[in-house]
Amino acid sequence: MISTKSDQKNVLLFQPHRLLSDHNLLECLQITKEKGIPKYVNSELSPTELNKNFPKLPKEVKDVLLWFGKERIGLLKEEIQKKFTQQRAGVSYEVYYKTAITRRLHEHMERMKPFAALVKWYHKIPGEKGNFKTAPGSFSTFKPQLQFEVTKNGNNLQLHTTISINGAPYPLDQFSRYQFLLLSGNEYFILSYKDYQTLEWLQDNDPQQYSQNPQEFSETILAKLEADYTVNRNNLFQKHEIREKPVNRVMLSEISQSFLVLTPQWEYDGFITEGPWKETYELTRNGQAFAIYRNQQDEKALWQLLEGLHPNFEKQLNGYYYVSFEEAQKKQWFLKVYHKLLELNIQVIGMDMLQHFRYSQHKVTTDVIIKKEITDALMLNMVIAFGEEKVALTEVQKIIQAGQRAILLQDGSLGILHEEWLQTYGTIIRHGKISGNEIQVPRWLAFSEEETPEGEAILKPVLHNSWLQKWQQWQQDGEMVYEVPSSIQATLRPYQQKGYEWMLLLAEAGAGACLADDMGLGKTLQTISLLTHQLTQKATERHLIVCPSSLIYNWSQELQKFAPHVKVLIYHGANRAVQDVATGDYQVFITSYGTVRQDIEELCTINLGTIVLDESHNIKNPAAQITKAVDRLQSNFRVALSGTPVMNNTFDLYAQMNFLLPGIFGSREFFRREYADTIDHHRDADKIKTLQRITAPFVLRRTKEQVASDLPAKTEMVMWCAMSDAQKRLYDEVKDSIRQSVFLNIETEGLGKSKLAVLQGMLKLRQICNSPLLLPGEEQTCTDSVKTDLLMNELQNNLYNQKVLVFSQFTTMLNLLAEKCREQGISFFHLDGSTPPEKRIEMVNRFQEEGNTTNVFLISLKAGNAGLNLTAAGYVFLFDPWWNTAVQQQAIDRTHRIGQTKNVFAYKMICKDTIEEKIIQLQHHKKQLAEELISEDEGFVKSLTEDDIKYLFS
């Protein structure tokens, strides 16, 4: 509105930057011109000022505008603070306040928008040089909408956000954004609150951090966006192709309270399709793209079958078939069709949603008798009835496997399988093999069976009372069930004692055990205590440890450390003899997965006491040769050790549990249909709960956080690495050459003047331990790097959701590791001497941010041994440990410092039978040397005698 004076204007001044400060967005502004120069006079937005400056504005408009006045904003702040005090929302006041006031201001802006054209607007916004610019402005009536597109620049994925206004797209970066307001030129657009929240989320979860990891990009970013928006993926992501025979289904429903409807459906690997056939059905779920190739022949067969069920059906072409309730009940048509479908293994869905068909007055009754035990199974006699009518077990199994709870009875009524009944009998029937009234179930289900409300249990009686008493005793804090053998050279922490006892209890019951503790909690010590106990009971028994070849020497060292009395043989390498395992004077054998696969025909004939599979996710694929091989091994007790028994999807669990508890999940197809697909594709909470209940007695997992009070603040360990034959051959050749050169130098020039030759020789051998790729090109006779392989395995399998620091002295090694991370889709930060200070700070801050999922930080030992606070990390790997122990400690202390709330685990990666191991031994055996080791490498050399040098290069 313009005042009556031609040289004066009264307008409203909008100040969007104050959304982030005091929230006083609107003021009245009087503009006058003196000699052509505008003069601005601000006044507070109040009823008096509005009436004076805008007398013709309708009252309802003034009421809306006054919501932005200083007085109303003050009252709003008080209201929010009062609600926070009452609700105790579980977040800080700052977070609660920002969310609440932003939402309320957004509501008021939406109310104001229809009236914005009735007022003249100016706005005041920050300029580029810190000054403010005041100019005319306006509010658009168009509603902006978010759109997303993924493109690729080289190997990097990029997410583009555009704003659609009146059907035209504009890049987001063409706008200035003030929370939920977009500014283009001098025009404002108000985002929907959902769109504002989406942009805030994207700002906090920068998609670029996943630019080289399509799976993370898809699962973390796109899955979130596609819940509310359509994202143009431009076919840049791998589609998971599903080419399987479908499971036929018929969905029952009602329309118009008069007709029963039968809709044909097909389930492809957990995905449901219906309607006319087309070659593919594409969709995204949890960020993953799927292309389902539909089977025309199988789908057509179901259409033809349904059309033959009723004379009217062949004329109905709507994608479903319908029949009146009256027709459905004539001559028991529906009952006959229902049983026919079940007999043809066609799932019938939707029975419990039908309202026209009455429910049976009879409650389900069940009689069960355990007839006999067969090794790993129980044979039951089971009768299920509604009143006088007995129901076939096969029919009940098909109904509950289809996720239904109602079964059609002979009198046309629906018998209901209520929740309590399903809790008691559902798992038994799902997992059972049925023959008439007999059902065979895995005996392992007895361990997880819950008692009925009447205090009864169906399978539990097969577990002896004496064992159950120990099991209950074990579950009590402070109650010791088994003592640790006195020959164990260690004191077990309380949680380790529990793990040791738990394995013994399952061994006594004839089951298997998966110890899935976090890395660093002592799975090895608990297992060695178990084996030692077994040997005290039967000294002649033979026990087998199967592990990745890189861990063979770890096990050997740990057995020597904790149980030096046990006779151990490493069954590995070209000179191994299977007779040693069969008849040799040894008690524990350590071997690799590859060796077991090669020698399975001989090994499977040997009766073993306990088999331990370390890193048991190596057998997660049931079709793999190694999985088939370990399943053939004969033993009384089986143990699986893994920090990540489930790495990629639920199906990873199948082979490992089947090794420990043969037959617990039946066939692969059953497990995939019953658990894996429904959990991974649909996040079925009931199936997750059931699977957890079944496996709970046999899987023991403790995290660092759970047992923190029992752990030291910092744990340092050696991670032994065994070179491949090719890498060791190269190492030995170079070592022999260096030894001759070094001792020729010492002989001609003396020890003092030969320090440079010693240093250079040490450096070259240490480089080969890391990776032969650190050598000049002409000397790289192999590319094997056991350390790289072992580190990548840990990052992918055991520590994929943990924050990890990796230190190396060699920047070239960091480059090699960075390339390996990129190949395997591991996002990382990389810091070395060339990283600018501001970039270091930025990377550290992002690594420390809560919710940031870049978990790996590659750091140069020299560049990163001071000044960095990286307390988000709980694991440190010293890829090539520096012989200066003070520098090593400084590296570890990047995370082990004030502000650290987690326990820190530090690993020195040491190649077995190399100069690295010899340095470690010198540190242990020469205390003075260890204390001096070393201010610098030269100081280390000065401390060495000629005998020490001979030892290092031997």
Averaged over 59-76, what is the pLDDT?
A: 90
Percent of the chain with pLDDT over 90: 32
Q: What is the predicted pLDDT for the residue at 930?
A: 34
- The DSSP element (H or E) to which 46 belongs, if any, is none
634: Cβ contacts below 8 Å, ≥ 6 apart? 604, 605, 606, 607, 608
Query: Which one, of 880, 876, 951, 875, lies nearest residue 910 by Cα?
Result: 880
Averaged over 286-291, what is the pLDDT?
A: 76
Question: Quick check: 929 pLDDT over 70?
Answer: no
Question: Quick check: 35 pLDDT over 90?
Answer: no
d(CA 381, CA 516): 36
Model confidence at 921, pLDDT cuts 50, 70, 90, reads confident
Averaged over 184-204, what is the pLDDT?
A: 92
Q: What is the predicted pLDDT for the residue at 5?
A: 47
* CATH 3.40.50.10810 domain span(s) along the chain: 471-663
Bridge partners (DSSP) listed for residue 321: 262
Q: What is the predicted pLDDT for the residue at 482?
A: 93
**Count of other CB atoms within 10 angstroms of residue 602:** 12
Sheet holding 288-293, edge to edge: 239-242, 288-293, 280-285
Model confidence at 911, pLDDT cuts 50, 70, 90, reads very high
Model confidence at 939, pLDDT cuts 50, 70, 90, reads very low
Tens of pLDDT, residues 72-92: 888 988 888 888 776 544 567
Q: Which contacts qualify for 929-938: CB closer than 8 Å, 24 or more apart?
A: 930/885, 933/883, 933/884, 933/885, 934/883, 934/884, 935/884, 935/886, 936/884, 937/759, 937/762, 937/883, 937/884, 938/755, 938/759
Q: What is the predicted pLDDT for the residue at 933?
A: 32
Question: Quick check: 486 pLDDT over 90?
Answer: yes
CATH class of 471-663: alpha beta
Q: What is the predicted pLDDT for the residue at 897?
A: 57
| Least confident segment among 362-376, 650-664, 800-814, 894-908 | 894-908
Bridge partners (DSSP) listed for residue 582: none
d(CA 781, CA 729): 9
Question: Quick check: 934 pLDDT over 60?
Answer: no
Model confidence at 121, pLDDT cuts 50, 70, 90, reads very high
Model confidence at 669, pLDDT cuts 50, 70, 90, reads confident
Residue that wins the pLDDT comparison between 588 and 7 = 588
d(CA 940, CA 948): 11
Averaged over 105-125, what is the pLDDT?
A: 91
Averaged over 560-583, what is the pLDDT?
A: 91
On whether the CB atoms of residues 881 and 855 are closer than 8 A, the answer is no
Question: Quick check: 503 pLDDT over 60?
Answer: yes
On whether the CB atoms of residues 804 and 875 are closer than 8 A, the answer is yes
Q: What is the predicted pLDDT for the residue at 246?
A: 92
Residue that wins the pLDDT comparison between 599 and 459 = 599
Q: What is the predicted pLDDT for the residue at 391?
A: 92
Q: What is the DSSP letter of 18?
A: G
Question: Quick check: 745 pLDDT over 90?
Answer: no
Q: What is the predicted pLDDT for the residue at 938?
A: 43
Q: What is the predicted pLDDT for the residue at 712?
A: 55
Helix or strand or coil: residue 106?
helix
Question: Quick check: 623 pLDDT over 60?
Answer: yes
Q: Give domain 716-952's CATH number out of 3.40.50.300, 3.40.50.10490, 3.30.70.360, 1.10.10.350.
A: 3.40.50.300
Query: Which one, of 254, 247, 398, lies nearest residue 320 by Cα?
Result: 254
Question: Quick check: 484 pLDDT over 80?
Answer: yes
Q: What is the predicted pLDDT for the residue at 446?
A: 84
Q: Dihedral, CA atoms, 85, 91, 96, 99, nearest 10 degrees?
A: -160
Tens of pLDDT, residues 253-278: 998 888 999 999 999 988 889 988 88
Q: What is the predicted pLDDT for the residue at 777?
A: 81
Tens of pLDDT, residues 376-409: 888 989 999 998 989 999 999 988 888 888 888 8
Q: What is the predicted pLDDT for the residue at 928?
A: 40
Model confidence at 935, pLDDT cuts 50, 70, 90, reads very low
Tens of pLDDT, residues 207-238: 888 888 887 788 788 888 988 898 999 988 87
Model confidence at 866, pLDDT cuts 50, 70, 90, reads low
Q: What is the predicted pLDDT for the residue at 864?
A: 65
| Least confident segment among 71-75, 852-856, 930-934 | 930-934
Averaged over 178-196, what is the pLDDT?
A: 93
Tokens of 840: 């270091």
| Least confident segment among 654-668, 795-809, 876-890 | 876-890
Q: What is the predicted pLDDT for the residue at 91?
A: 62
- The DSSP element (H or E) to which 44 belongs, if any, is strand 37-44
* CATH 3.40.50.300 domain span(s) along the chain: 716-952
On whether the CB atoms of residues 935 and 897 are closer than 8 A, the answer is no
On whether the CB atoms of residues 786 and 721 are closer than 8 A, the answer is yes
d(CA 155, CA 172): 23
Please provide residue 160's backbone torsions phi and psi, each rounded to the nearest 5 degrees. -105, 130
Q: What is the predicted pLDDT for the residue at 291?
A: 87
Q: What is the predicted pLDDT for the residue at 942?
A: 57
Tens of pLDDT, residues 136-161: 999 999 999 999 999 998 888 999 99
Query: Rounded to whole angstroms, what are the CA distances from 212 to 48, 193, 209, 791, 909?
Result: 59, 31, 8, 20, 28
Question: Quick check: 926 pLDDT over 50?
Answer: no
Q: Which residue in this structure is represented by tokens 């309708």? A: 58
Question: Quick check: 40 pLDDT over 90?
Answer: no
Tens of pLDDT, residues 292-309: 899 999 999 999 999 999
Bridge partners (DSSP) listed for residue 189: 182
Averaged over 202-210, what is the pLDDT?
A: 86
- Please return the burial class of 432, using the count of CB atoms within 10 Å of its CB with bins 0-12, 13-18 and 19+: buried
Averaged over 521-531, what is the pLDDT?
A: 92
Residue that wins the pLDDT comparison between 890 and 850 = 850
Question: Quick check: 816 pLDDT over 90?
Answer: yes
Q: Model pTM?
A: 0.58
Helix or strand or coil: residue 147?
strand
Which of 513-522, 597-606, 647-656, 879-888 reaches the highest mean pLDDT? 597-606
Compute the mean pLDDT over every residue in the chain, rounded to the nearest whole number.
85
Helix or strand or coil: residue 809?
coil
Q: Dihedral, CA atoms, 526, 528, 532, 533, nearest 10 degrees?
A: 20
Residue that wins the pLDDT comparison between 694 and 554 = 694
